[in-house]
């Protein structure tokens, strides 16, 4: 019965008031017996003051409880990723609690960062031995052991994909957990296009970007880079000459379209290439994994990716992401 | 053509060096950042292969330092850190290409060729001078369709002159681009190789421009 704070406060104040009333009663009896003339006038004043005090007490108690309501709202926004820490002014009794809460959030973020760094080190630590194995396979192939070489090469590729995939997942899961991510889409796209122009320098590509200013996605920068990087790289690989990046915001969802004028993809392959481990073309290594990571990252953040026919005749990637 | 490999994993560096040497490049290797830095300022390279996770000085720091001090040769980053965020960072730091580990040696060779070609302004994978043809993919030289056997130094000289066919290459520059750092340069002079090239390909294949250097000639 005494489980809610409000009930406890009420019970406590009723008990307190009852005690006080008894004392006051005794006191007033003494006063009336000593000065009988005071009786009539004082009773009206007493009723009025009593009502005023009760009302004031009620509002004070109510105000006393509002910090909890605020706290709940702030915590909800921390959870939703709008704020990194519990903020606002609170009464002295609650303050240590808030500090503890923020300390907890901080240590949780630190341990996620550590776990992520460990995952990264593990992934990169595996890459060098894998590179050595891949070279060994090539060496075997050059000595005529084609079948063994092929098996090793395939397994190395599988392991590499697994490592990349799990690393991307770990990063996405951790940034989902820390929550406060926001990235300007144009920033990410510009950096990537700068890099892609160099990486595809052997080809003459025209890349146009049409993004509304201030378009911000609720994603970690690394993850938006990974998503857009894979999509843009695919577009650059397959485009005949033009790639177009455009974006639009509607409500809480932003949609980014990446169009190329390449050969496109037959409808039956458009969903298949987004599945893990499926490649549209064996001649373009890694493209399948790239798209699977794109899909996984987008979905981890509550977004989605679809492949369609582009008005430029090639492929259109339609990426939906939550707005920050 | 001379390549610097900066890689702390000796097995990878060794295998890459072997393959590049077979493809006709003079190769230097550095196993840590400090050594790489020393070689970078001491030598003339046509391409640098750079690992990022290096002992002493990390790869990106090196790269930024090189670019800030005006070193222009193309840099191909070879790294286990293959995310797009890291690629953008690498390219923005001054890299020209990026290959994530594990890689296929052929892919690295192809990218090295492409970088050299891009830097020299060549558009085709075949370089011509009269009846002389060099296919940079296979490192094969043919004269009027007939294959010609060249030693590695002869090949490097011919390849360098063909990649810079529109100008006279000073002797000292030629020397810088055909010998690895630890090679004893006195015992094999450029003149000897050029004389041999002229014997194999015809006297007009390399022109000596007195006081300036050498230029590829029409055979």
CATH code for position B94: 3.40.50.2300
Q: For residue B150, what are the domain limits? A: 126-216
Give the confidence band of B131 by pLDDT, cuts at 50, 70, 90: confident
Give the confidence band of B128 by pLDDT, cuts at 50, 70, 90: confident
Q: Which one of B81, B98, B120 terminates a domain? A: B120
Do residues B71 and B179 share a domain?
no
Round to whole Å and give the CA distance between A259 and A8. 64
Asked if ipTM goes beyond 0.90, one says: no
Give strand ranges (E) for B17-145: 26-30, 47-50, 75-79, 97-100, 126-129, 132-135, 140-143
DSSP state of A317: E
Do residues B62 and B84 share a domain?
yes
DSSP state of B161: H
Token pair of B90 as six digits: 């690498």
Round to whole Å and give the CA distance between A52 and B8. 82
Do residues B67 and B147 share a domain?
no
Peptide bond into B102 cis (omega under 30): yes
Cβ atoms of B179 and B26 closer than 8 Å: yes
Round to whole Å and give the CA distance between B24 and B160. 11
Do residues B75 and B156 share a domain?
no
Contact check, Cβ <8 Å, B83/A225? yes
Contact check, Cβ <8 Å, B97/A230? no
Please state which of the ranges A190-204, A227-241, A268-282, B87-101 shows the lowest mean pLDDT.
Answer: A268-282
User: Above 60 in pLDDT, residue A287?
Assistant: no
What Rg value do the Cα atoms of chain B yield, rounded?
18
**Which is higher by pLDDT, B187 or A50?**
A50
pLDDT of residue A285: 43
Do residues B209 and B192 share a domain?
yes
Do residues B11 and B103 share a domain?
yes
Q: Look at strands B140-143 and B146-148 and give their pairing.
A: antiparallel
Contact check, Cβ <8 Å, B82/A132? no
User: Above 90 in pLDDT, residue A85?
Assistant: no
Q: B27-51, pLDDT tens digit by residue?
A: 999 999 999 999 988 888 999 999 9
Round to whole Å and give the CA distance between B107 and A29. 104
Closest partner CB to B80 (pick from A128, A134, A156): A128
Do residues B70 and B101 share a domain?
yes
Q: A172-226, pLDDT tens digit by residue?
A: 777 665 566 789 999 999 999 999 999 998 888 999 999 998 899 988 888 899 9
Mean residue pLDDT of chain A comes to 84
B11 reaches A (C-beta below 8 A): yes
Contact check, Cβ <8 Å, A199/B105? no
**Which is higher by pLDDT, A178 or A23?**
A23
Do residues B116 and B11 share a domain?
yes
Do residues B111 and B191 share a domain?
no
What is the 3-state secondary structure of A12-74? HHHHHHHHHHHHHHHHHHHHHHHCHHHHHHHHHHHHHHHHHHHHHHHHHHHHHHHHHHHHHHH
Give the confidence band of A289 by pLDDT, cuts at 50, 70, 90: low
Q: Which one of B120, B135, B159 terminates a domain? A: B120
A108 reaches B (C-beta below 8 A): no
The dihedral region occupied by A245, where left means phi > 0, alpha psi between -120 and 50, and beta the remainder, is: beta
The CATH code of the domain that includes B164 is: 1.10.10.10
Interface mutation vs chain B, best among A126, A128, A168, most B CBs within 10 Å: A128
Distances (CA, A) of B195 to A121, B215, B217: 53, 14, 14
The total number of structural domains in chain B stands at 2
Interface mutation vs chain B, best among A122, A166, A195, A283, most B CBs within 10 Å: A195
A168 reaches B (C-beta below 8 A): yes
Instruction: Report the share of chain A in percent with pLDDT over 90.
Output: 28
Do residues B27 and B53 share a domain?
yes
> Would the CA dihedral through B122, B124, B128, B134 be positive or negative?
positive
Closest partner CB to A222 (pick from B83, B92, B103): B83
Cβ atoms of A247 and A212 closer than 8 Å: yes
pLDDT of residue A315: 92
Distance between start and end Cα atoms, chain B: 22
Sheet holding A242-250, edge to edge: A206-210, A242-250, A253-260, A315-322, A304-309
Do residues B7 and B115 share a domain?
yes
B97 reaches A (C-beta below 8 A): yes
Neighbours of A309 (CB within 10 A): 15
Q: Which one of B99, B120, B141 terminates a domain? A: B120
User: Above 80 in pLDDT, residue A5?
Assistant: no
Round to whole Å and give the CA distance between B141 and B24. 12
Q: B66-100, pLDDT tens digit by residue?
A: 999 988 899 999 988 888 999 999 999 999 999 98
pLDDT of residue A115: 87
Neighbours of A101 (CB within 10 A): 17
Do residues B13 and B106 share a domain?
yes
Q: Which residues contact B104 (CB under 8 A, 6 or more apart)?
A: A134, A138
Contact check, Cβ <8 Å, B92/A195? yes
């Amino acid at each position: 019965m005494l489980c809610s704070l409000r009930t406890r406060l009420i019970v406590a104040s009723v008990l307190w008031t009852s005690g006080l009333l008894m004392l006051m009663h005794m006191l007033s009896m003494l006063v009336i017996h000593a000065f009988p003339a005071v009786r009539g006038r004082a009773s009206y004043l007493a009723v009025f003051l009593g009502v005023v005090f009760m009302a004031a007490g009620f509002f004070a108690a109510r105000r006393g409880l509002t910090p909890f309501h605020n706290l709940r709202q702030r915590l909800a926004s921390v959870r939703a990723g709008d704020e990194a820490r519990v903020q606002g002014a609170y009464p002295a009794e609650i303050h240590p609690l808030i500090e503890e809460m923020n300390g907890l959030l901080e240590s949780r973020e630190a341990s996620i960062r550590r776990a992520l760094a460990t995952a990264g080190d593990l992934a990169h630590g595996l890459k060098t031995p894998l590179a050595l194995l891949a070279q060994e396979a090539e060496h075997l192939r050059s000595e005529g052991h084609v079948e063994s070489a092929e098996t090793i090469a395939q397994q190395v590729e599988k392991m590499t994909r697994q490592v990349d995939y799990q690393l991307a997942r770990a990063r996405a899961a951790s940034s989902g957990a820390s929550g406060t991510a926001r990235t300007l889409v144009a920033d990410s796209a510009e950096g990537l296009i700068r890099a892609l122009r160099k990486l595809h320098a052997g080809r003459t590509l025209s890349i146009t970007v049409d993004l509304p200013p201030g378009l911000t996605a609720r994603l970690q920068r690394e993850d938006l880079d990974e998503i857009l990087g894979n999509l843009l790289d695919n577009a650059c690989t397959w485009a005949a000459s033009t790639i177009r990046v455009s974006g639009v915001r509607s409500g809480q969802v932003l949609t980014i379209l990446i169009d190329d004028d390449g050969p496109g993809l037959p409808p039956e392959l458009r969903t298949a290439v987004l599945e893990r481990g499926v490649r549209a073309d064996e001649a373009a290594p890694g493209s399948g994994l790239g798209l699977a990571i794109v899909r996984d990252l987008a979905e981890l953040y509550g977004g989605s990716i679809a492949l369609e026919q582009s008005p430029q005749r090639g492929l259109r990637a339609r990426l939906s992401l939550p707005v920050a | 053509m001379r390549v610097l490999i900066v890689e702390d994993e000796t097995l990878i560096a060794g295998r890459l060096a072997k393959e590049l040497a077979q493809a006709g490049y003079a190769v230097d290797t550095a196993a840590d950042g400090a050594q790489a830095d020393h070689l970078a300022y001491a030598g003339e390279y046509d391409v640098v292969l750079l690992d990022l996770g290096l002992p002493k000085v990390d790869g990106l720091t090196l790269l930024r330092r090189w670019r800030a001090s005006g070193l222009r040769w193309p840099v191909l980053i070879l790294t286990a850190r293959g995310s797009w965020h890291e690629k953008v960072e690498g390219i923005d730091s001054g890299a020209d290409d990026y290959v994530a580990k594990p890689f296929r040696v052929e892919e690295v060779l192809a990218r090295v060729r492409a970088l050299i070609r891009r830097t020299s302004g060549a558009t085709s994978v075949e370089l011509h001078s009269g009846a002389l043809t060099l296919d940079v993919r296979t490192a094969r030289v043919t004269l009027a369709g007939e294959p010609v056997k060249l030693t590695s130094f002869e090949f490097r000289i011919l390849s360098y002159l063909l990649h810079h066919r529109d100008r006279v290459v000073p002797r000292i520059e030629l020397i810088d681009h055909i010998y690895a750092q630890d090679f004893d340069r006195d015992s094999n002079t450029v003149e000897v190789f050029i004389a041999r090239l002229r014997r194999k390909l015809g006297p007009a294949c390399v022109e000596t421009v007195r006081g300036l250097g050498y230029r590829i000639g029409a055979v």
